[in-house]
Amino acid sequence: QMQLQESGPGLVKPSETLTLTCNVSGGSIDGSTNYWAWIRQPPGKGLEWLGSIYYSGSPYYNPSLKSRITISVDTSKNQFSLSLTSMTATDTAVYYCVASERFWGQGTLVTVSS
């Protein structure tokens, strides 16, 4: 059974860059047909897909994030990462890493505040 675990800061200052990492266990990030995604959920609100990547392909991003987002894969560590620049209060959310919509991390709350 594949398991995912997010790690990163719980508090980010406005204008800073958020970097989250998702550790994948129970499966190889480069040995499967899974795609790896980041989804977030502002407190009390719905779900927003941020972007996805296959280990061997190009990432796909939500246009709403314009050029702020980068998703990458590190096969040596069996991890994938999210980078989101120019953080504002509207980016406050629980961030989930997801494998093929089927396996989800527990989520990590990121608060943007000075």
Partner 1 sequence: IQMTQSPSSLSASVGDRVTITCRASQAINTYLNWFHQKAGKAPKLLINDASILEAGVPSRFSGSGSGTYFTFTISSLQPEDLGTYYCQQDDTLPWTFGQGTRVEIK
Q: Is 49 in the site for partner 1 (CB under 8 A)?
A: yes
Residue 13: CB minimum distance to partner 1, A: 26
Residues 68-107 that bind partner 1 (CB under 8 A): 96, 101-102, 104-107
Q: Is 59 in the site for partner 1 (CB under 8 A)?
A: no
Residue 38: CB minimum distance to partner 1, A: 11
Residue 30: CB minimum distance to partner 1, A: 22
* Rounded-to-integer distance, Cα 64 and Cα 12, Å: 20
C-beta of 54 vs 104, nearer to partner 1: 104
C-beta of 44 vs 76, nearer to partner 1: 44
3 state SS for the chain: CCEEEEECCCEECCCCCEEEEEEEECCCCCCCCCCEEEEEECCCCCCEEEEEECCCCCCEECHHHCCCEEEEEECCCCEEEEEECCCCHHHCEEEEEEECCCEECCCEEEEECC
Contact residues for partner 1 (CB under 8 A)? 46-49, 52, 60-64, 96, 101-102, 104-107
